[in-house]
Structure 1
């Protein structure tokens, strides 16, 4: 079980985030005295820190700087402020990510999982959430959640998207996609694959992600991570 220190003075939001994180088996601690954040951090020794920018006494930048002077613990900023300078400042101070409020909780969870896996070499094949182009892809719920909303996919569509994401920025041939669906004991013809890909793109267009599934004529398809060509 990973321990998360949530530095948030809005008690309603704190409890909401804590409840959701607890459902994912994270141990969550808050701050009792916002003038003693570093001392409480040292006592808790969390695996990851979530910190708001606007806090009593001193702001989140101050405490990020103080924590960074003692530890390389992963830090994610949560902020309702939309100034680009805030994001730049947080990165310069050594934060690992910056999440704008209000946020989709699935996106936050996916970011937390990705950072924990990277920093602690934690691997769990059962993890259902993956991040792609800033969106959370839930392989169990068959959903894709971005800042612009959530779309529900069919089983075939999520399996196709999973194959593309697992090989992101690389071309996946039609034969590979058909074979992967056959391996899942699903009958998929070449025409069925085309229909499912078109439906997948159309749904992803609803949350501005359709452009990140590219067709490579004569080769196959590619899920782009970054700027589409």
Structure 2
């Protein structure tokens, strides 16, 4: 069951959203204490966040920016503010979608389902390797009590390589899998992501997980 975190200060809307999500098989979570909203978000470990802009203490823009410093959790902005500038600011700060109030509940549910599918459907929840595990839903590498967080691109790279475990995956295949279109490929970005992944593995004492096969690509074993 996917956990959806609702960050909305209007109690009536909060309750209606909770009931709607529950009825369609999701596990709704709510934030009611806005003094420590960022800590509440991290503690919730939700699969998706529904975030209003007009909130007490901290507005949705600030919260969205703070979430993106540490988490890759998908965010849908749900707000009565409907200007193009609000939508643009939301996307620039890391939101994945923007829905204006009053909204059609079926359209909101469709947006939630599509974003969850796009983010998680390609991932097996947990894969075990040698002396570590990758939890793709949470976006972390686990070794004993140690845990390292993954960015969205790092998670996609590991998903692609792990599906072809023991086989070489070319850089072109990886880049196409990452960006879905070679038009948006940045070769340097792939190299940076691979190097960061290696450092994350090394930080928990896991060596030689991703091997470079010169002129051919990468291999995970």
Runs of 4+ in 1 over 6 A off after TM superposition: none
1:121 CA drift (Å): 1.5
Distance 1:102 1:28 in 2: 20
Distance 2:20 2:103 in 1: 13
Structure 1 partner of 2:60: 60
Inter-CA distance 18–122: structure 2 relative to 1 (3 Å threshold) = farther
Please say if residues 4 and 47 of structure 1, whose CA atoms lie closer than 8 Å, have aligned partners that are also in contact. Answer: yes
1:34 matches 2:34: yes
1:44 CA drift (Å): 0.8
Higher Cα Rg, which structure: 1
TM-score of the superposition, structure 1-length normalised? 0.52
Structure 2 partner of 1:108: 108
Please say if residues 78 and 100 of structure 1, whose CA atoms lie closer than 8 Å, have aligned partners that are also in contact. Answer: yes
Please say if residues 9 and 32 of structure 2, whose CA atoms lie closer than 8 Å, have aligned partners that are also in contact. Answer: no
Distance 2:65 2:113 in 1: 23
Please say if residues 34 and 56 of structure 1, whose CA atoms lie closer than 8 Å, have aligned partners that are also in contact. Answer: yes
Please say if residues 49 and 74 of structure 2, whose CA atoms lie closer than 8 Å, have aligned partners that are also in contact. Answer: yes
Distance 1:100 1:35 in 2: 25
1:122 CA drift (Å): 5.9
Structure 2 partner of 1:76: 76
Structure 2 partner of 1:177: none
- SS of 2:77's partner is strand
Please say if residues 54 and 60 of structure 1, whose CA atoms lie closer than 8 Å, have aligned partners that are also in contact. Answer: yes
Deviations 1:108-161 (A, max 9, x none): 0000000000100169xxxxxxxxxxxxxxxxxxxxxxxxxxxxxxxxxxxxxx
> Can you give the 5+ residue segments of structure 2 that lack an aligned partner in the other structure?
124-221
Deviations 1:45-64 (A, max 9, x none): 00000000000001000000
- SS of 1:6's partner is strand
> Can you give the 5+ residue segments of structure 1 that lack an aligned partner in the other structure?
124-229
Q: How many residues matched?
A: 123
Distance 2:115 2:37 in 1: 22
Distance 2:94 2:23 in 1: 28
Distance 2:4 2:122 in 1: 15
TM-score of the superposition, structure 2-length normalised? 0.54
